[in-house]
Chains A and B, each alone.
Chain A
Amino acid sequence: MANEVLRCDGVTVRFGGLVAVDNVSFTIEEGTVFGLLGPNGAGKSTLFNSVTGVVRASEGRVELFGADVTSLPAHSRMRSGVARTFQLGGLIRDFTVLENVVLGIDHKARIEGNRLASVKSKQVLEEARQILIDLQLGDYADYEAGAIGSGTQRAVEVARCVAAGAKLILLDEPGVGLTPPDREFLKNLVKRLADHGTSVLITDHDTDLVLGAAERVLALDQGSVLMVGSADEVKSDKRVIDAYLGTTEEGTE
């Protein structure tokens, strides 16, 4: 069996009386793309946040790369080799695209515990530029991040995660506000990451994006697991279709 990069074991998150996530368990294996699917309010974001550490699980256990991180703060979890994107505001708008990617290289230095790595600024800049070129974003390197299109911004965030050398990348609703061609680019980008052995967790309410990119998918409904299976299984499952697949792919945000 391949190594597990992420394991959630009976994760429950309560906000007062509200149970946002109820006893959810799943694992992500190395080098695979795992999708988290669910309509608005299904608990996707809360589950995602309990993995990143933004929200603490009320019950259950979160493991990253085999180590229990349930009680660790967000930055410590990210130092174990995980990187993430944001639905909104995941870049420093005043920074150039290149400098935002350097932020990822700083992250790598923190993961490796090598604090002095970024002192060699020339080398760091070259490395960041190469990553952008590899991801077909090289032409944007010297623009201010706030001045480029939102689809490109999302891709730059992924570039930042790649620069961190992350073994697991968490994508928080990357499709929000993107045009269909941008989503297509993103989908291919995710697949390319997996080809390079990076594991990806992608959450979105765009079923096409999630089912198109992910090999295994967890469908959430009202905080609990509706089903876990391959993309094809989920696509054809009656319960999933009834719960939300039947609606239009645009979602209703």
Chain B
Amino acid sequence: MSTPTEPAEAEEHLGAVEESRQPKQAVSAKVPPAAKASIIVLGVAALISLPLILGDYRLLLANMMLINGIVVLGLVPLLGWSGQFAFISAAFMAVGAYTGGRLLNLVDGLPLEVGLLLGCAGGALIGLAFGALAVRVKGYYLAVVTVSFMFVVEMVAREGGGVTGGVDGFLISAPPVLVLGLNPLKGVSTYYIGLALTIIVLAFVMWLRRTALARGWAALSVDEHLAQAVGVNPYRSRLIAFVIASSIFGLAGTWYAVVTQYVQPHTFGFGLMLTHFVFLIVGGVKSPIGAWIAAIVLTVASEYIRSFAGISEIVYGATLLIAVLVMRRGIAGIIERITRTRERWA
């Protein structure tokens, strides 16, 4: 939303409608369709051509960037829209890696698509089971419960013996791909599969925002009574957000396992979860596009910042601090100010 003008005089007379004394500034100006279309075309063209100009190492970075993008797309509905401080991104990536990824490792010839779906379903099912308990609590309590869950997942992965691969984790060799018969680990095709997953998840999340479900979350994050006043069952609504997010994380985790070919219990720890939150906050918690851009930019940036040996953490921390202080609504806020648009909820 572009910044609203100063509130119209608080005691404005209702008759003002007829007198056309309206708030001075329209809130949503439309971007000309041509401009919008050309931005989208340019962006998509850049994303498609990217791997053709990158070397092997940078291609891996590009793959990580897309995975991080998918993860924040799951965080936006959960944190930004339904307002739940659930720190489950890394834990449910692990769930995806240890369900879909593990099955790809154990079952020879299992197609990638099936593995990804299984990881997604694994995330959804465990998300439903854990969420049914977790979303009964809110705020700090939810944060504590979900962080604890993360350690439980790691412990199960480590102590799971033959089932999970134990401390050593497991390796995944290239699973077959049904569509086009690609090799998911061969150069640019890895990237394009990641891009396809990104587009699917992005389209889903963008569609989601314009449903009654997302508007119910918005009401819920303002006030639970307001949500109930329009017939929203708060518990159920929170649980749905939880399950949607955990299935997206499950998908991302499975794909992560395939891309890196190696899963260990400590891969999906506290640090990974924190970087996801950094992306989300810098991007703008309520904006899928803003958060996604932040994930892309910061994944790449952190790689270059790493070359400031010894002071990389300071540079990274300072960047964040500036981002949070200067851009209060993140990248999304800046985009909205420039284009004078706002995100639509209907």
Taking Cβ atoms with an 8 Å cutoff, the residues of A that contact B are: 52-54, 73-76, 78-79, 83-84, 86, 89-90, 92-96, 98-99, 102-104, 106-107, 109-111, 115, 117-119, 121, 124-125, 128, 136-140, 142-144, 146-152, 155, 160, 164, 177-179, 181-182, 185
Contacts and interface: CB of A to CB of B under 8 A. Distances in A.
A160 B230 contact: yes
Nearest to A104: B230
Interface stretch (B129-137, B220-228, B320-328): B220-228
Contacts of B231: 75, 78-79, 106-107, 110-111, 164
Interface of B: 1, 4-5, 7-18, 20, 22-23, 26-28, 210-212, 215-216, 218-219, 222-223, 225-234, 342, 344-346
Interface of A is mostly: helix
A78 B27 contact: no
B346 A142 contact: no
Interface of B is mostly: loop
A67 B22 CA distance: 44
A104 B227 CA distance: 11
A151 B14 contact: yes
Given A99-B215, A106-B216, A107-B231, A86 B226 contact: yes
* The 5 residue pairs across chains A and B that have the minimum distance between CB atoms: A149-B12, A110-B231, A106-B212, A74-B228, A147-B4
A140 B230 contact: no
Contacts of A79: 231
B23 A179 contact: no
Most buried by A among B9, B14, B229, B233: B229
A109 B212 CA distance: 9
Contacts of A110: 212, 230-232
A144 B14 CA distance: 16
Contacts of A128: 346
A144 B211 contact: no
Given A118-B212, A143-B26, A144-B4, A151 B13 contact: yes
A117 B5 CA distance: 34
Contacts of B20: 139
